[in-house]
Amino acid sequence: MRNRIIAFAFIILAAACSRNAITGRKQMAFFNEADIQSMASDQYKQFLTTNKVIATTTSKDAEMVRRVGSKIATAITKYYTDQGLGKELEGYKWEYNLVDSKEVNAWCMPGGKIVVYSGLLPITQNEAALAAVMGHEIAHALAKHGNERMSQATVQQAGGIAVQVAVANKTPEAQNLFLNAFGVGSTLLGTLPFSRKHELEADRLGLMYAAMAGYNPQEAIALWERMEKASAGQKPPEFLSTHPSEGTRIEQLKKYMPEALKYYNSANSSKK
């Protein structure tokens, strides 16, 4: 009987693994993307009603967040449509909001629901660096990292068998799982629930997205240098952390830079 249960669990796990069209790698995804987007929309509305949203009509910073998000979304839509991957953006109804908070944080839920915390802006300092952060967060959503994290957590909690966590029912447990999976309660200077692989994947894709939108990707290097200074003494050694140190990220970003600069130069040459 035990062997049958184990075999059944492996069948479920195998069926739930599919190749991600954005990243090119196989990932575990138990949850339907449309269901996740629906829950994201509800959670986003709830978040906005319980937090102070800064209006674009009265704040240049809020308008900058909206402008950066809009430019990146437009660039991504064009790129993936040209690549025949337009279906990866099905259900995306982009929203961008700046929230009044001292937290150094930003996140993007499936469906393009984005929040930037005002505490992040003193570190980004300029529009291109903000684009690098927003591109990174959008990359987490498009690469379906949250779905993957929720699926992994479900396996851990249910032993790989009872995988039918009813997201649609929106129980407190399901909501907490959802919010934790998308980093809503975490800061960039703390421990995000994404793995090192997810973080570096989002770094690379986010850099490309910002560059496609016409933002200088080299600003991402200076951004992470500022992050490193801001987080000095606040983080454990890299081998104890779930995601890479700023030094590792900077090293990897430098490797990605030639590719990103091609997109940046192409985006700016088309404007002339």
Closest CA to 208 of 259, 168, 147, 268: 259
Closest CA to 28 of 139, 173, 145: 145
DSSP per-residue letters across 155-193: HHHHTTT-----GGGT-HHHHHHHHHHTTTT--TTS--S
Token duo for residue 262: 């091609």
137 belongs to the catalytic site = yes
Residue 54's SS3 state is: strand
User: Long-range contact list for 166-172, CB < 8 A, 24+ apart?
Assistant: 167/31, 167/35, 167/36, 167/39, 168/35, 168/38, 168/39, 170/39, 170/42
Residues in contact with 79: Cβ distance below 8 Å, sequence separation at least 6, in sequence order: 212
**Distance between start and end Cα atoms, the chain:** 69
Q: Are residues 242 and 232 in contact, defined by beta-carbon separation less than 8 angstroms?
A: no
What is the layout of strands, in order, in the sheet containing 113-117?
53-54, 95-99, 113-117, 106-109
Catalytic member of 95, 137, 148, 219: 137
Catalytic residue numbers read 137
